[in-house]
Amino acid sequence: MVRSLLWSVILLGLVGCAGKGERIDIAIPGQYTGASVTGRAPGTLRVAVLPFEDKRAHQANLGTRSHLWGGTSVFNLPSGNVTEASAQALVNYLNRQGWKASLARAAGQDGEDVTITGIIQDLSIEATSGVMHTDLSAKNTLMLQVRNHSDESVVRERVLGTGSDQVFWFEPEDAQALTTELFEKNFQKFLGDIRVDERAIRLR
Amino acid sequence: MMNSHIGMKFGVILVSIGMLMSGFGCANKRVASTSGDQSMAAKQSIDTEQVQPDQMASADTSSQDVSRSQLAPSASESGSAAMSKDSAVLPDLAGLGDIYFDFDRYEIRKDAHSVLEGNAKWLRNEGGRSLMIEGHCDERGTLAYNLVLGEKRAKSAKRYLEDLGIPGSRIQTTSYGEVQPFCKEQNEGCWQKNRRAHFVVH
């Protein structure tokens, strides 16, 4: 009985370390966990967010997991549409902070005050398994551009996020949490760097 | 009897593995974000100067003052958005006290007057000593913006000391922007401690 249990644990360990070549789904937008409405909400300012442009050097997937005994799995979105998913992540974050934001197809369609576009310059997650641990590292670099329709002025900012984690037993949720947290930190930084001036967004 | 003894040992091993797993899971996570190229342009002039904050992010932090004052306002003094304006700031080991600023401002506050007068008095008594004033900011705003704001804070403090009769040649200024926070939490009480001018004796 004890011996069979022991073998089960060892087998489970080996399965966890072996490369399976599977796709590990990463949901974007993820479920934000940080505090909401940290600053003053911008009142009635209406924000449209267009799908971002994907300018990543490697667009096939979000990254790879290298298994201890060889082989890799890939991280990717179930939909594969990273441009819309990233824009939706910003919309969700803004709304969580009390803004009035929505995903749009084109600028100026619904009489919004500002339109935000974005370029994904880097969005990746890598996991490397070793003996009794897996190291995760993630990057997220976004160039965000705000167009104020009241005076057609433009505000641009690049936000760069990096994250790392080490876990004993890798679960897809670890990669998911790191990715979501990076988006959240980047958007948090962006909101911290701008201010609302009547019907427009300016840099602080 | 033998079987139950082995079972107990196995249980202990499993519990240990579980504890190890949970320990690894929460010890090493690091996530950070910073902002880079930034610009604000009117309609006719989209091509504006691009700020290169990487240079500023690498501001020299090796000269950190080991006798840095630990006498920043306490969280209880500044729990609300507006910190008490008459908070007492005691001098540090060198006899010099830090002064604090309102959000996004570099004007000398009234509660800083007595601190600066005390600092000026100390400098007058220490005729041969020169001073470095470091300007610091909270984390809100870009690296570039905060570097400039920190410089303005340091220069405001310098001007005030000059008005009190301290020769400008004895005072140097520098800015660390947001890269040397005194306090690392994300709340107003903590940010208030970081919006400061710190005085270092040469």
Residue B54 has pLDDT above 50, yes or no: no
- Beta strands at A72-76 and A63-66: parallel, antiparallel or unpaired: antiparallel
Cross-chain residue pair A143–B37, CB shorter than 8 Å: yes
DSSP B41-70: E-TT---PPPP-HHHHHT---TT--TT---
| Start-end of H helices in A50-134 | 82-96
Confidence of residue B26 (pLDDT cuts 50, 70, 90): very low
A118–chain B Cβ distance below 8 A for any pair? no
- Decide which of B12 and B180 is more confident: B180
Look at A31-35, B111-115, B168-172 and tell me which has the smallest mean pLDDT: A31-35
CA–CA distances in Å: residue A94 to residues A30, A145, A197, B189: 14, 15, 17, 24
Residue A94, pLDDT > 90, answer yes
Residue B27: CB atoms within 10 A of its CB come to 11
Q: How far apart are CA A189 and CA A185, in angstroms?
A: 6
Cα(A102)–Cα(B149) distance, integer angstroms: 34
ipTM: 0.75
B 75-94 residues with CB < 8 A to A: none
Read off the pLDDT of each residue in A91-117 and give the average, rounded to a whole number: 89
- A37 vs B: CB within 8 A: no
Which pLDDT belongs to residue A110? 75
Computed over every residue of chain A, the mean pLDDT equals: 86
B2 pLDDT higher than 50? no
Mutate to test the interface with B, among A55, A153, A176, A188 (most CBs of B within 10 A): A153
Q: At what angle do helices A82-96 and A172-193 cross, to 10 degrees?
A: 60
Q: What is the structure's pLDDT at B30?
A: 82
Segment B74-98 shows an average pLDDT of: 40
Q: What is the pLDDT of residue B7?
A: 56
Out of A164, A167, A193, the one facing B25 most closely (by C-beta) is A167
More confident residue, A52 or B96: A52
Tokens at residue B94, please?
Answer: 């060198």
CA distances from B171 to A107, B107, B163 (A): 52, 18, 12
Give contacts of A 88-117 with B, CB under 8 A.
none
* Structure-model confidence comparison of residues B175 and B29, the more confident one: B175
Rounded to an integer, the average pLDDT of B43-71 is: 31
* Mean predicted confidence (pLDDT) in B188-198: 92
| pLDDT band, residue A49 (cuts 50/70/90) | very high
Give the HSE-up count for residue A82: Cα atoms under 13 Å, Cβ half-sphere.
26
- The predicted pLDDT at position A36 comes to 67
Residue of A nearest to B143 (CA): A193
- Sheet with B99-100, strands from edge to edge, namely B99-100, B196-201, B131-136, B171-177
Say if residue B140's pLDDT is above 60. Answer: yes
The model's pLDDT over B87-118, given as tens digits with 9 standing for 90+, comes to 233 334 457 899 999 988 898 999 999 999 99
**Do A164 and B6 contact (CB within 8 A), yes or no?**
no
pLDDT band at A134 (very low <50, low <70, confident <90, very high): very high
Instruction: Annotate A9-35 with b (16+ C-beta within 10 A) or e (fewer).
Output: eeeeeeebbebeeeebebebbbebeee
Q: How far apart are CA A90 and CA A99, in angstroms?
A: 11
Query: Is the pTM for the entire model greater than 0.90?
Result: no
Contacting residues of B for A191, CB less than 8 Å apart: none
